[in-house]
Amino acid sequence: MHKPLIGLTPYHDTDNDDIKMRPGYLRALKEAGAIPVVLPLEASPEDLKQLADTMNGFLFTGGPDVHPFLFGEETQAHCGNVSAARDQFELQLLPLVMERKKPILGICRGIQVLNIGLGGTIWQDINSQVASEFPIAHSQPFDYSVPSHTVRVAPGSRLSQIAGNDSLKVNSMHHQAIREVGRDLVVTATAPDGLAEAVEMPSYPFFMAVQWHPEYLREKDAAAAKLFQAFVGACNRRK
């Protein structure tokens, strides 16, 4: 039996111009029955088309901030480092993947860049831009394998069907979040402070993105493991 090939967008260490990949993503996909493939950051338009044709699905991974110019804003004082090469790579890849209706999963930065690619915007820095009576620790102070806050899941959503619950305990390691939702996307989970924590595209075969990192939770949390299983299952159907 041939396993599905899933392309992962790479982490770009701009200080050393290195390409990296956290092993949790690779292990989560392997455990769910896929072969993970780290994509090349430098790819010609022809290469991108071939990758979009060849891979059975795509995981847009976590990483640095997206450049504010890409969603029509000046750089806010608390914005972090960016990778222009990665921004360009992912935003060129996305429409090619969507044209082919390949399954898409986004994690952390992934939910943000997918939202931006579909015309949405993000908060450049939650702490300085979003007022809250009880500031949630969106950048948690302890190990990523330990959840730090809950999210409320929209009933009837794909995430609800996968998780089998309307409330999830998630980890959190981000200082940016969705502000205006991109076209055709629906928010399907929110944090206690109202920030978007997951989106889906109901009109697309499989398009899901979450703000937390389920790859760190999958060993102890069934819902996190089921998310990767559902994604890989969708990729299996696209072989």
- Report the distance separating Cα 3 and Cα 77, nearest Å: 45
CATH architecture of the domain formed by 5-236:
3-Layer(aba) Sandwich (3.40)
pLDDT of residue 225: 97
- Report the distance separating Cα 162 and Cα 222, nearest Å: 10
Residue 92 reports pLDDT greater than 70: yes
- Catalytic residues, by residue number, are 108, 213, 215
In terms of DSSP H, where are the helices of 149-236?
158-163, 222-236
Q: Quickly count: other Cβ atoms within 10 Å of residue 27's Cβ.
A: 15
The one-character DSSP state at 214 is: G
Residue 34 reports pLDDT greater than 80: yes
Q: What is the mean pLDDT of residues 164-171?
A: 96
Residue 226 reports pLDDT greater than 80: yes
Taking the whole predicted model, whether its pTM rises above 0.75 is answered as: yes
Q: Quickly count: other Cβ atoms within 10 Å of residue 76's Cβ.
A: 14
**What pLDDT, in 10s, does the model give residues 185-203?**
999 999 999 999 999 999 9
pLDDT band at 83, cuts 50/70/90? very high
Q: Where are the domains of the chain?
A: 5-236
Residue 238 reports pLDDT greater than 80: no
* Per-chain mean pLDDT for the chain: 96
pLDDT of residue 237: 82
Do the bridges between strand 5-8 and strand 57-60 make them parallel or antiparallel, or are there none, so unpaired? parallel
**What pLDDT, in 10s, does the model give residues 94-129?**
999 999 999 999 999 999 999 999 999 999 999 999
pLDDT of residue 239: 66
Residue 140 reports pLDDT greater than 70: yes
